[in-house]
Amino acid sequence: MKPVKIIGIGISPDDITKKQDKIIRDADFIIGGTKQLAFYKDLDVKKLKIKDNLSEVLDTILKNMDSNNIVVLASGDPLFFGIGTYLVKKIGKENVQIFPNISSIAKAFSKINESWHDAHLISLHGKRSNNISAVFSGKEKFGILTDKKKDPAWIAQKIIEKEESGFSMCVLERMETDEEKITWYDDLSKVAEKKFLHPNIVILKRKPLSPNSANIKQIHIGMEDHNFFYEKGLITKSEIRSIVLSKLNFVTDNHIFWDLGAGSGSVSIEASSTLTNGMIYAVEKNKNRVSLINKNISKFNVPNIKVINAQLPKALEKIPLPDRIFIGGGGKNLGKITEQAINKLAINGIIVINTVLIQSLESVFSIMENKGLNPHAISVQISKSKSMPHGNRFEALNSVWIIYGKKELSKNE
């Protein structure tokens, strides 16, 4: 069985290397899109056009690869949202050779002299498209492959519908052709009304916040409680919050974090200062507290917290699986919530739970042990100085137990 050679054409024929060109010209059978096949219309070999016919393409390859040198032409890099990934999966790595070329995203960022190693990449091509909701995750930079329906105007409209602001959009139309056009837009409402040449690429950049803005508050770990909107007594206290966040041990900035029984959202807000490229889900059943969480999000201008007004543990079924979990509230359902949360937690994920009840301490610790988390618990007693007529005294806050553990791969897995 001869390996199928998958060759990235790049953005234009000028990107094709001599080696790639020779492989193509030595082929018995060439498969590619209309544009790619047109580059080799002079070759008198069998050809198959790729359109909405991947099943036919696969069948053709399987029937002919024993006796033919098959070359599949792809635009850009075959493994970047391309047919290369599909064929590797379908016919096996051992039966494929990949010859990459520059991707359209790489070319687009080079056109504006911007790095793209820190960009979040999205493809809106057809059925294999990503979800545009990633734009609302708080990340700073995006490279987006569009199609004729999900074009720059469509993207701009989705951002406007979500009442998002603070993005600049660059639209790169028909790169490397005589019709190439590169335009920056600060007002997305203008993009939503325009028509664009295809193909095109969109680059989104979040505008830097003004440090002098009165509405922007600097976030740090262990902020004083009065910085937050909260119901009386229903906030994870400043010092406890600091310990909780240290036990959560965010080792990267892109964790998915669940804050269950979020209350005021103070833990979520402070976690956001570390999880700049992650996503935070704050779940709270009380509508009044949800309103307070949203006020805190606005106050601190945090874009990557999604607030969910729902009952636990039912709400856990519809949230992306977490790397870190904090449970600050759960009431009589704390045991069930803990068990289901651990089931959802990623391997090497960490869960931290606060409780002031002896019964809850025993229950949660036991559940963690049974789930193989090797839990630890600490008792925290905070006393804060308080002014008196002739001096100061210490006033004790309620004792809090903090239970935490890490979910590791079992020996049987």
Token readout for 8 is 């990235």
Question: Where in the chain are the domains?
Answer: 4-102, 105-206, 225-406
- Percent of the chain residues topping a pLDDT of 90: 68
Q: Please give the mean pLDDT across all residues of the chain.
A: 89
Whether domain 225-406 has CATH 3.30.465.10: no
Buried b (16+ CB within 10 A) or exposed e, 147-160: eeebbbbbbbbbbe
Q: How many whole angstroms separate alpha carbon 289 and alpha carbon 297?
A: 12
Residue 1 near residue 67, CB atoms below 8 Å: no
**pTM greater than 0.85:** no
Give, for 280, the enclosing helix (H) or strand (E). Answer: strand 279-284
- Is the per-residue pLDDT at 413 higher than 80? no
Q: How confident is the model at residue 214 (pLDDT cuts 50, 70, 90)?
A: very low
Q: Where are the alpha helices (DSSP H) in 208-307?
A: 238-248, 266-272, 287-300
Residue 132 has a pLDDT of 75
Q: How far apart are CA 183 and CA 1, in angstroms?
A: 48
- Which tens digit of pLDDT belongs to each residue from 8-34? 988 888 899 999 999 999 999 999 998
Q: Record the tokens describing residue 406, joined without a space.
A: 């890490």
Four-way CATH pick for 105-206: 3.20.20.80, 3.30.420.40, 3.40.50.720, 3.30.950.10: 3.30.950.10
Residue type, 44: D
Return the pLDDT at 212. 47
Q: Encode pLDDT of 224-250 as tens digits.
A: 999 999 998 889 999 999 999 999 999
Can you state the angle between helices 334-344 and 358-370, rounded to 10 degrees?
30
pLDDT, tens digit, for every residue of 29-58?
A: 999 998 899 999 999 999 999 988 989 999
CA distances from 334 to 8, 239, 325, 341 (A): 54, 23, 13, 10
Within 10 angstroms of residue 26's Cβ, the number of other Cβ atoms is 12
In this prediction, residue 161 carries a pLDDT of 83
Given this model, what pLDDT does residue 215 score? 42
At the topology level of CATH, where does 4-102 sit? Cobalt-precorrin-4 Transmethylase; domain 1 (3.40.1010)
Residue 63 token pair:
């029937």
Task: Mean pLDDT check: name the lowest of 96-110, 115-129, 305-319.
Answer: 115-129
**pLDDT, position 1:** 73
Distance of alpha carbon 206 from alpha carbon 212, whole angstroms? 17
Pairing between β-strand 256-260 and β-strand 324-327 as defined by DSSP bridges: parallel
Q: Which long-range contacts (CB under 8 A, 24 or more apart) does 20-27 make?
A: 20/99, 20/101, 23/71, 23/99, 24/71, 24/73, 26/69, 27/68, 27/69, 27/70, 27/71
Q: How far is CA 140 from the centre of its chain?
A: 11
CB environment 284-317: b (16+ within 10 A), e (fewer): bbbeebbebbbebbeebebbbbbbbbbebbebbe
Task: Please say if the pLDDT value at position 87 is more than 70.
Answer: yes
